[in-house]
Amino acid sequence: MSDKKYIVGVDLGGTSIKVGVVPYDGGRVLGVRSMPTNSDHGAKFVVDRMVEMIRGSMRDAAREENIPDDGFIGIGLGSPGPLDRKTGTVIETPNLGWRNFPLRDLIANSIGLAAELDNDANCATIGEWWMGAGKGVQTLIGVTLGTGIGGGIVLDGRVYHGAADVAGEVGHMTIDSTGRKCKCGNYGCLEAYASGPAIAARAIEGLETGEPSLLPSLVDGDLSQITAETVYEAIVAGDLYAKEVMRETAKFLGAGLANLINILNPGMVVISGGVTKAGEHLFEPLRAQIRRRAFRHAEESCKIVSSTLDGMAGVIGAAYMFRVERFGNG
């Protein structure tokens, strides 16, 4: 019997829940499961679903690698924030509708294993640092472009949490002081310009002013059906207006990233999430924007890359976060 240890990683998002079993020293993720969050069914439904997925994932992993019951040492939970890591409580999540929710202890008690809680984007960023694009990079910023824009900061191999676990909220940096209204209540946040829904909203506004484009034909004329994905499809089909929308996205994102690069001088920015499907249509103008805005020395020492963990950074990083909380960085 092997005495290898394993940690369950859980990535709870507004749209989906992902679970996998990660070997203590890294390696292939076992027993991967992914299901929709369906947060409209209420918190109990979501927690029950997480518990069921964790049990299933442990069962599959145990079968595959012959892991005894005591081979599983704990659970790392990544959740949208803001949250309190010390008490394991989710303080508020607009996407899930939770308030002061004791997620860590509910999961730990149901499974009978120790658990730790951290922000989902922090988990994804440390996951990239541990096993993905950011291996060996001292100072790393992770940015997740999805329904919202999440972020994480890794300084010298550790997640930087700040005074109240709020650090890394890159989506809510103001890039236009009198700009578009953001879900957080502020005006002009990066998220209000470059998240998936914000890209779609900007595309629709242009179409309503009569910009010629293939986009309406891709949604049978129902503009409300346009998503960031549709914009990407139109780009692939050669649509000039859709390309322009993506170039604008790169401009906003480039302004935000140039701020971060000048302040933190990271060796790498890893970008993940659905919007990165646009590939070089996003990255090429993005790098050009950053070159234009950031200090040359800072910009030249910073790689702007796409995630290499194929949507699993959050799961991998959540497991690593548990390891660090319980056993330190060694």
Residues making contact with Zn ion (CB under 5 A):
172, 182, 184, 186, 189
Compute the distance between CA of residue 259 and CA of residue 301 in angstroms, rounded to an integer.
15
As beta bridge partners, residue 151 has 143
Shortest distance, position 39 Cβ to Zn ion, whole Å: 20
Name which of 189 and 253 has its Cβ closer to Zn ion: 189
Instruction: Classify strands 98-101 and 115-119 as parallel, antiparallel or unpaired.
Output: unpaired
Name which of 180 and 293 has its Cβ closer to Zn ion: 180
Compute the distance between CA of residue 140 and CA of residue 264 in angstroms, rounded to an integer.
9
Tokens of 116: 């730790």
Compute the distance between CA of residue 123 and CA of residue 127 in angstroms, rounded to an integer.
6
Virtual torsion, Cα 61, 112, 86, 143, nearest 10 deg: 20
Task: Decide: 199 and 228 in contact? Cβ < 8 Å.
Answer: yes
Name which of 186 and 259 has its Cβ closer to Zn ion: 186
Compute the distance between CA of residue 112 and CA of residue 244 in angstroms, rounded to an integer.
52
Name which of 182 and 261 has its Cβ closer to Zn ion: 182
Shortest distance, position 10 Cβ to Zn ion, whole Å: 26
Shortest distance, position 255 Cβ to Zn ion, whole Å: 15
Shortest distance, position 196 Cβ to Zn ion, whole Å: 15
Q: Longest C-alpha distance within the chain, in Å?
A: 68
Name which of 201 and 223 has its Cβ closer to Zn ion: 201
Shortest distance, position 185 Cβ to Zn ion, whole Å: 7
Query: DSSP label at 189?
Result: B
Shortest distance, position 305 Cβ to Zn ion, whole Å: 25
Other beta carbons less than 10 A from residue 183's beta carbon: 17
Work out the angle at residue 49's Cα, subtended by the Cα atoms of residues 164 and 78, and round it to the nearest 5 degrees. Answer: 25
Name which of 104 and 172 has its Cβ closer to Zn ion: 172
Grouping H, G, I as helix, E, B as strand and the rest as coil, residue 67 is coil
Name which of 166 and 184 has its Cβ closer to Zn ion: 184
Shortest distance, position 173 Cβ to Zn ion, whole Å: 9
Task: Decide: 127 and 137 in contact? Cβ < 8 Å.
Answer: no
Task: Decide: 57 and 32 in contact? Cβ < 8 Å.
Answer: yes
